[in-house]
A and B are shown apart, each in its own frame.
Chain A
Amino acid sequence: AQKITQTQPGMFVQEKEAVTLDCTYDTSDQSYGLFWYKQPSSGEMIFLIYQGSYDEQNATEGRYSLNFQKARKSTNLVISASQLGDSAMYFCAIYRGGATNKLIFGTGTLLAVQP
């Protein structure tokens, strides 16, 4: 079975600083995908960034980047130059293809950006 673990229930960061949100996973699959989503207080799920298990380079998307360490089974999200609007819940998720075509989510990290 696949499992996603986010060990930080909450994080604080000063505006304009960088922050790293941790995510580790457990899977026996060779091929899988890893997602990060942002959920602001308004409730919608906003896709941020994706990393495929065979991607050799760390994914980047604007101010978001992943520190993907396959051997350690971790995919930490780095947000650079934090903004007040980054305050939200952040969820890591793993996707397994094939017949079991679904996302398994972690419990999330609540990020608060302080001015």
Chain B
Amino acid sequence: NAGVMQNPRHLVRRRGQEARLRCSPMKGHSHVYWYRQLPEEGLKFMVYLQKENIIDESGMPKERFSAEFPKEGPSILRIQQVVRGDSAAYFCASSPDSPGEYFGPGTRLTVT
């Protein structure tokens, strides 16, 4: 049973470009969470999704960021018109119900 998968592992974008981060949850998990880790900080919750629904997006910046978890396929975190401050590690976690231990390896986004 493969763990939570994220790709790409590293992503470099120039300012103003779009970044798309993908997360495939563990098999049988219908809950997905995205977290952001800025350099030298802990993880901060961004959004919680279930299949085709956004349950809690209280941690998402109001502009440029969006997330989806379609019926088929991975969850996508999309950042439009990236700025240098978006450089961070983005982690996805999945669970069958409550959150917990199943984190992906993260995507390290660098904005140049």
Contacts and interface: CB of A to CB of B under 8 A. Distances in A.
A91 B42 contact: yes
Given A43-B108, A102-B33, A35 B45 contact: no
Interface string B97-112: 0111111011010000
Interface residues on B, range: 20 to 34
B42 A102 contact: no
Contacts of A103: 33, 35, 43, 45, 93, 99-100
Given A46-B103, A95-B100, A108-B41, 20 more contacts: A33-B98, A33-B100, A35-B100, A43-B105, A45-B43, A47-B102, A50-B100, A91-B43, A95-B98, A97-B98, A99-B56, A101-B48, A101-B56, A102-B33, A103-B35, A103-B43, A103-B45, A103-B93, A105-B44, A106-B42
Interface of A: 33, 35, 37, 43-47, 50, 91, 93, 95, 97, 99-108
